[in-house]
């Protein structure tokens, strides 16, 4: 499959639908799994890594699943394609550029299910869902895990559970991350308070691209830290409770915004759209910040002529690798900022003329 | 219960899986358990009476060769066997990270029959590695044959 065929699609995580999608962008669950008879990836020779790739590929190809997973060899992909997959949340930055040797990723046409091979662990299973969908994502990944386990001997320990390269993942190997859009908590400066409370109960807060990444555009990933000693259902139940509480705070803050400064918010949204539609140079960060304002405007019903999916489309297509694929050739930083501004101007004009 | 090697209280209760589905229970205090786990595989079987005084300071996992120090420096284990090889040092670490040391969740759904074979395989592979490094090739060949038999069965 040519990766360029994915370009016009939004991918599962930006579909913009699903429960609570006014504030929950997407739900992601990953499971870390390793094969019993090999050293972990970090200590494996290239020959051993090639073997784990071969075994994983075979298991993925023959797995009894209602969808097909296509495998892509990562070392054979140009840097731009790897970055493209990172932006679509199908692989990690580590798999793209940090770990070495034979490795790859298999994913389905909907871009909802992916299996990374030879990242930190031999297998990193992932399921992405739009909106707040922990139960559905768990059902999907549990089935994927069973299908692979039927063909691969996992490293499992009676006391410690699923064994992982890093003991912070041992046990269930499960990390659930919910991507939230929390602009009103940001505006009313309550966000730090919320996050301090989260850290006390062992939940992590990260930016868009996971560990160590900055939070742009009021997007935050909330995920569990503890993987050992709690069942999957308990981990998911705890994170679910916390997310529901945060959503309540965010909605309260939105209501207060509307009540106390509706005019000012309306102005902010109009200016954000104005800048996006008229700039001639714009960075990815500024684009994300402005799109965040527009997204809030849509959900507060301050504007009704820009669909939420259009914001998601602009969001993904203006990221560096997507932009270069759209243009069809590599661009340096300055060129990217110009191309991004041009793309935004064109797309917003199209949206504008279609609503007349 | 007293430690089997010194007068202290036994805090770790280890079940050794021996070939032919035999088991051996070992009860040790934390210090003796650390030493015990670093000992080469053969010494464990049978005579537990005398503690090995000159256990190497930088003990290694018999399967992948990583030391606990290397693990501490990189934060990543070398292979699944490290969880047993460094068990004594690992337990307080897991307690700190997760507040728990015992898995409570999903387990592979393969039939229970597969499990003893799997743990025996793990054990035999460790043994094979040790025998080869000690140049006991005749015994090593026997272990290797048993591994093949299990893998095919």
| Whether residue B95 is found in the same domain as residue B130 | no
| Whether residue B31 is found in the same domain as residue B8 | yes
Q: Is residue B107 part of a domain?
A: no
| Whether residue B119 is found in the same domain as residue B96 | no
Q: Which residues of A touch B107 (CB under 8 A)?
A: 156, 161
B83 part of contact set with chain A, CB < 8 Å: yes
Q: Which residues of B touch A142 (CB under 8 A)?
A: 106
Q: What is the pLDDT of residue B9?
A: 74
Q: Is residue B124 part of a domain?
A: yes
Say how many C-beta atoms besides its own lie within 10 A of residue A174's C-beta: 27
pLDDT at A214 over 60: no
A39 part of contact set with chain B, CB < 8 Å: yes
| Whether residue B5 is found in the same domain as residue B32 | yes
Q: Which residues of A touch B98 (CB under 8 A)?
A: 171, 226-229
A265 in Cβ contact with A302 (< 8 Å): yes
Residue contact B106–A145, C-beta within 8 A: yes
Q: What is the pLDDT of residue B22?
A: 65
A157 in Cβ contact with A38 (< 8 Å): no
Q: What is the pLDDT of residue A58?
A: 97
A155 part of contact set with chain B, CB < 8 Å: yes
Residue contact A160–B97, C-beta within 8 A: no
Residue contact B77–A40, C-beta within 8 A: yes
A201 part of contact set with chain B, CB < 8 Å: no
Q: Which residues of B touch A42 (CB under 8 A)?
A: 74, 76, 78
The most confident of the ranges A157-161, A329-333, B9-13, B129-133 is A157-161
Substitution target from B102, B106, B113 for chain A, most A beta carbons within 10 A: B106
Distances in Å between the alpha carbon of A164 and those of A39, A76, B75, B135? 11, 26, 11, 32
Compute the distance between CA of residue A319 and CA of residue A6 in angstroms, rounded to an integer: 14
Q: Is residue B28 part of a domain?
A: yes
DSSP collapsed to 3 states, chain B: CECCCCCCECCEEEEEEEHHHEEEEEEECHHHHHHHHHCCHHHHCCCCCCCCCCCCCCCECCCCCCEHHHHHHHCCCCCCCHHHHCHHHHHHHHHHHHCCCCCCCCCCCCCCCHHHHHHHHHHHHHHHHHHHHCCCHHHHHHHHHHHHHHHHC
Q: What is the pLDDT of residue B113?
A: 38
Number of compact structural domains in chain B: 3
Average pLDDT for A206-210: 67
What ipTM was predicted for this assembly?
0.87
Average pLDDT for A112-131: 97
Ranges A206-215, A256-265, A300-309, B95-104: which has the least confidence: A206-215
Residue contact A228–B83, C-beta within 8 A: no
B113 part of contact set with chain A, CB < 8 Å: no
B66 part of contact set with chain A, CB < 8 Å: yes
A318 in Cβ contact with A287 (< 8 Å): yes
Residue contact B99–A226, C-beta within 8 A: yes
Compute the distance between CA of residue A165 and CA of residue A3 in angstroms, rounded to an integer: 30
Q: Which of A153, A166, A230 sits opposite B104 (nearest CB)?
A: A230
Q: Is residue B25 part of a domain?
A: yes
CA angle B41, B43, B45 (to 5 degrees): 85
Q: Which residues of B touch A156 (CB under 8 A)?
A: 107-108, 118
Q: Percent of chain A, pLDDT > 70?
A: 96
Size of interface A-B (CB pairs under 8 A): 112
Pairing of the two strands B22-28 and A174-181: unpaired
B142 part of contact set with chain A, CB < 8 Å: no
Q: What is the pLDDT of residue B31?
A: 74
In sequence order, the β-bridge partners of residue A125 are A31, A115
A142 part of contact set with chain B, CB < 8 Å: yes
Q: What is the pLDDT of residue A211?
A: 53
Nearest-neighbour CA in chain A from B91: distance (Å): 10
Q: Is residue B73 part of a domain?
A: yes
| Whether residue B68 is found in the same domain as residue B32 | no
Average pLDDT by consecutive 10-residue portion of chain B (153 residues)?
73 69 74 66 41 50 91 93 94 94 90 52 76 80 79 63
Q: Kind and range of the H or E element at A56?
A: helix A46-62
Average pLDDT for A94-105: 94
Q: Is residue B128 part of a domain?
A: yes
Q: What is the pLDDT of residue B29?
A: 78
Q: What is the pLDDT of residue A67?
A: 95
Domain range for residue B23?
A: 1-39
Q: Is residue B15 part of a domain?
A: yes
Compute the distance between CA of residue A124 and CA of residue A32 in angstroms, rounded to an integer: 5
CA-based nearest residue in chain A for residue B74: A166
Q: Which residues of B touch A160 (CB under 8 A)?
A: 83, 94, 101-103
Average pLDDT for A184-200: 85
Residue contact B105–A36, C-beta within 8 A: no
CA-based nearest residue in chain A for residue B66: A43
Say how many C-beta atoms besides its own lie within 10 A of residue B54's C-beta: 5
Q: Which of A120, A150, A160 sits opposite B83 (nearest CB)?
A: A160
Ranges A8-22, A200-214, B68-82: which has the least confidence: A200-214
| Whether residue B60 is found in the same domain as residue B96 | yes
Q: Which residues of A touch B109 (CB under 8 A)?
A: 146, 149-150
Say how many C-beta atoms besides its own lie within 10 A of residue A294's C-beta: 23
- Give the relative orientation of helices A333-355 and A232-278 as an angle to the nearest 10 degrees: 90
Average pLDDT for A7-27: 84
| Whether residue B32 is found in the same domain as residue B60 | no
Q: Is residue B91 part of a domain?
A: yes
The structure tokens 């200590």 sit at A43
In the structure, what pLDDT confidence band is assigned to residue A293 with cuts at 50, 70 and 90?
A: very high
């Amino acid at each position: 499959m040519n990766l360029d065929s994915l370009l016009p699609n939004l991918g599962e995580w930006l579909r913009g639908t699903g429960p609570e999608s006014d504030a929950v962008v997407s739900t992601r669950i990953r499971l870390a799994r390793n094969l019993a008879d090999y050293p972990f990836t970090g200590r494996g020779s290239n020959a051993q890594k090639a073997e784990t790739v071969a075994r994983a590929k075979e298991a993925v190809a023959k797995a009894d699943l209602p969808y097909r997973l296509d495998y892509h060899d990562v070392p054979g992909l140009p840097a731009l394609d790897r970055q493209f997959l990172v932006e679509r949340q199908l692989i990690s930055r580590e798999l793209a550029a940090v770990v070495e040797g034979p490795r790859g990723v298999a994913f389905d046409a909907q871009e909802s299910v992916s299996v990374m091979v030879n990242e930190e662990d031999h297998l990193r299973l992932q399921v992405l869902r739009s909106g707040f969908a922990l139960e559905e994502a768990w059902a999907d990944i549990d089935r994927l895990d069973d299908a692979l386990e039927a063909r691969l001997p996992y490293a499992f320990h009676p006391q410690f559970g699923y064994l992982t390269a890093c003991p912070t993942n041992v046990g269930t190997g499960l990390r659930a991350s919910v991507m939230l859009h929390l602009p009103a908590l940001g505006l009313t400066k309550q966000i730090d308070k919320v996050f301090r409370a989260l850290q006390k109960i062992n939940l992590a807060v990260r930016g868009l691209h996971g560990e160590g990444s900055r939070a742009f555009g009021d997007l935050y990933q909330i995920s569990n830290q503890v993987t050992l000693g709690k069942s999957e259902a308990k981990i998911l139940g705890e994170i679910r409770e916390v997310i529901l509480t945060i959503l309540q705070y965010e909605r309260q803050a939105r209501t207060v915004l509307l009540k106390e400064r509706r005019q000012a918010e309306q102005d902010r949204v109009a200016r954000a759209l104005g800048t996006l539609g008229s700039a001639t140079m714009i960075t990815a960060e500024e684009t994300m910040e402005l799109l965040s304002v527009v997204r809030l405007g849509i959900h507060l019903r301050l504007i009704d002529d820009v669909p939420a999916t259009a914001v998601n489309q602009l969001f993904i297509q203006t990221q560096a690798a997507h932009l270069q694929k759209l243009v069809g050739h590599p661009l340096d930083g300055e060129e990217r900022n110009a191309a991004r501004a041009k793309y935004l101007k064109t797309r917003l004009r199209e949206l504008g003329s279609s609503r007349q | 219960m007293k430690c089997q090697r010194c007068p202290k209280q036994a805090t770790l209760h280890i079940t050794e899986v021996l070939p032919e589905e035999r088991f051996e229970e070992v009860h040790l205090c934390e210090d003796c358990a650390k030493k015990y786990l670093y000992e080469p595989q053969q010494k464990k079987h049978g005579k537990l009476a005398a503690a090995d005084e000159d256990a190497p300071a930088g003990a290694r996992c018999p399967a992948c060769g990583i030391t606990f120090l290397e693990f501490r420096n990189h934060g990543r284990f070398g292979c699944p066997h490290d969880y047993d090889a460094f068990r004594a040092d690992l337990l307080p670490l897991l307690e700190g990270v997760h507040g728990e040391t015992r898995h409570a969740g999903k387990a592979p759904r393969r039939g229970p029959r597969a499990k003893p074979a799997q743990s025996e395989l793990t054990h035999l592979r460790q043994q094979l590695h040790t025998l080869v490094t000690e140049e006991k090739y005749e015994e090593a060949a026997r272990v290797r044959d048993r591994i093949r038999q299990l893998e095919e069965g």
